């Protein structure tokens, strides 16, 4: 098995929204805000190559939205999905499976693109199966007012219309080395992949723990729909991770890709940190 970190770009979100009730005097030391209180975040995906399978976990926000949309999120930096795939020798046409942790725009927006003539939307991975969770799919296509701005129909409905959609909780097809934990504090039935590489297990944290700064239990995003449930889920899965020596993979941390964990007097904290290729 080969596993690659795929960087789909950087964007900005409000620091207060990302750190919830934690005071700015604390979180600003971890991810300093600009003059508009915006912090830079990564959209880091994971690519797993094993046999004839090439599984991409999440895919960033894509590029099909208008200038007004991107004006809210300040895309910046030199990274991009196609560039990052090409750097490890692949293109979108090579992807066999696209696994979507959840359907917020910064995780699934790259799933769909305009056709060449810009007359209709089509899957950006023409040969891939797209994996979602049935309960989360229903949650996303019938969004509550609080999350409606994060669930964009143009990112979601064309997947189903293409016939390429499958539900990981109802259909077979994912390999045995690809395990899933389902959590619902951030949004209903978000899926966290746990990859057994043969050399160790990599835990893709999606938005349960979007960065190393969110490791302490009270550091919960204001975006979470059920923050107290997030606390419980973090506590349980962090203990599982430290007990089993999982390598945590951070989707949104602007600097740190991965870390190992250890128990400390303050709780479970980061032990060693660095790039995926160096720690695995």
pLDDT tens-place string over residues 165-214: 999 999 999 999 999 999 999 999 999 999 999 999 999 999 999 999 99
Q: Is the separation of the CB atoms in 88 and 277 below 8 Å?
A: no
CB count in 10 Å sphere of residue 47: 19
Say how far apart CA 223 and CA 17 lie, in whole Å.
6
Lowest pLDDT segment from 86-95, 111-120, 126-135, 172-181: 111-120
- pLDDT at position 29 is 96
pLDDT digits (tens, 9 = 90+) for 23-67: 999 999 999 999 999 999 999 999 999 999 999 999 999 999 988
| 8-state DSSP, 153 | H
Which of 168, 157, 70 has the alpha carbon at shortest distance from 122? 157
Summary count for the chain: helices (H), strands (E): 9, 14
- pLDDT at position 186 is 98
> What average pLDDT does the segment 106-131 reach?
96
- pLDDT at position 152 is 96
- pLDDT at position 39 is 98
Say how far apart CA 258 and CA 6 lie, in whole Å.
13
> What average pLDDT does the segment 135-156 reach?
96
Domains in the chain (CATH in brackets) are: 2-279 (3.60.15.10)
Q: Is the separation of the CB atoms in 52 and 95 below 8 Å?
A: no
Say how far apart CA 155 and CA 59 lie, in whole Å.
11
Say how far apart CA 258 and CA 279 lie, in whole Å.
8
- Report CA 45 to chain centroid distance, whole Å: 6
Residues 6+ apart with CB under 8 A from 119: none
> What average pLDDT does the segment 82-92 reach?
98
Instruction: With cut-offs at 50, 70 and 90, classify the pLDDT of residue 118.
Output: confident
CA dihedral defined by 207, 208, 212, 216, rounded to 10 degrees? 150
The structure tokens listed for 88 are 């490890």
Rg (alpha carbons) of the chain, rounded to whole number = 18
Say how far apart CA 217 and CA 194 lie, in whole Å.
21
Helix (H, G, I), strand (E, B) or coil at 204: strand
> What average pLDDT does the segment 117-123 reach?
93
> What average pLDDT does the segment 228-254 reach?
98
Q: Is the separation of the CB atoms in 45 and 106 below 8 Å?
A: no
Say how far apart CA 34 and CA 149 lie, in whole Å.
23
Q: Is the separation of the CB atoms in 76 and 40 below 8 Å?
A: yes
Instruction: With cut-offs at 50, 70 and 90, classify the pLDDT of residue 109.
Output: very high
| 8-state DSSP, 78 | S
Q: What's the predicted TM-score (pTM) here?
A: 0.97
- Report CA 91 to chain centroid distance, whole Å: 20
């Amino acid at each position: 098995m080969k596993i690659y970190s795929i960087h789909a770009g950087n964007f900005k979100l409000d620091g207060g929204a990302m750190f919830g009730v934690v005071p700015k005097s604390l979180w600003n030391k971890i991810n300093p805000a600009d003059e508009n209180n915006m912090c830079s975040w990564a959209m880091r995906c994971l690519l797993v190559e094993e046999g004839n399978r090439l599984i991409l976990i999440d895919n960033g926000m894509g590029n099909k939205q208008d200038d007004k949309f991107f004006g809210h999120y300040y895309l910046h930096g030199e990274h991009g999905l196609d560039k990052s795939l090409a750097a490890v020798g692949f293109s979108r046409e090579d992807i066999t499976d696209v696994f979507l942790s959840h359907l917020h725009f910064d995780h699934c927006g790259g799933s769909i693109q305009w056709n060449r003539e810009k007359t209709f939307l089509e899957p950006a991975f023409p040969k891939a199966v797209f994996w979602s969770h049935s309960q989360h799919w229903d949650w996303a296509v019938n969004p509550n007012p609080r999350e409606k701005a994060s669930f964009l129909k143009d990112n979601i409905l064309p997947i189903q219309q293409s016939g390429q959609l499958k539900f990981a909780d109802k259909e077979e097809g994912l390999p045995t080395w690809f395990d899933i934990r389902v959590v619902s504090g951030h949004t209903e039935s978000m899926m966290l992949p746990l990859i057994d590489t043969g050399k160790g297990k990599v835990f893709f944290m999606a938005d349960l723990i979007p960065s190393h700064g969110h490791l302490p239990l009270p550091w919960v995003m204001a975006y979470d729909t059920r923050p107290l449930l997030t606390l419980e889920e973090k506590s349980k899965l962090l203990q599982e991770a430290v007990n089993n020596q999982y390598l945590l993979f951070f989707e949104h941390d602007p600097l740190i890709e991965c870390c190992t964990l250890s128990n400390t007097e303050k709780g479970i904290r980061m032990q060693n940190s660095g790039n995926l290729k160096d720690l695995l």
